[in-house]
Amino acid sequence: MENTKIINYQIASAIFACIAGTLLHFTYKFFGENNFVALFSAVNESVWEHLKLLFFPMVLTTIIGYFYIGKNVPNFLCSKLIGIITSMLFIIIFFYTYTEIIGKSIVLIDIASFFVAVILGEYLSYKLMINNFECNNILATIILSVILIGFIIFTYFTPKIEIFRDPVTNQYGITKNI
């Protein structure tokens, strides 16, 4: 497959993920704290919930991209999985590192790091796709599914650990009765 088609798709994917992820930050409240919308929207200000803003748009573009270019790129799913995981790890590591150094979070830095994470993940996916490394797409699908199930379960049954804690309310998960 020609690199131009792949890079164009990756750019479109990054733009979509940035826009959709930004909008998903507000959809839970906008739709009256709807339990279905909670599955893919941030229900609070925790780092975990903000990872959903990245994960779901990137998975959606992975699904669409599979039918657009993925069937002609043997390592498409593995490349996208590695990009998504890299983006998520970047957000986690960057957030906890900078907040530990300066002692607080800054919204503009958080927003900028989200955009950097998306671009980093999509760029890495592109580089992996054009290198044609061998991988197991079934395993990639299983891992993406496990992450998806984790987001769904932990939205409603939230562990009481730091990544799930809302720094604004000091609560975990959905704070209303479901």
pLDDT above 60: residue 51: yes
The domain total for the chain is: 1
90 occurs within a structural domain: yes
* CA-based radius of gyration for the chain: 17
Residues of the domain holding 85? 3-164
Which of 160, 158, 161, 162 shows the shortest CA–CA distance to 173?
A: 158
Q: Does any domain span residue 80?
A: yes
Predicted confidence (pLDDT) per residue in 54-106, tens digit:
999 999 999 999 998 888 888 999 999 999 999 999 999 999 999 999 999 89
Q: Would you state the structure tokens that stand for residue 87, as one six-digit string?
A: 């983006």
119-172, pLDDT tens digit by residue? Answer: 999 999 999 999 878 888 899 999 999 999 999 999 889 899 999 988 888 888
Confidence of residue 175 (pLDDT cuts 50, 70, 90): low
Instruction: Kindly state whether residue 18 falls inside one of the protein's structural domains.
Output: yes
Question: Which residue do the tokens 């061998």 mark?
Answer: 134
Q: What is the mean pLDDT of the chain?
A: 91
Q: Is residue 176 part of a domain?
A: no
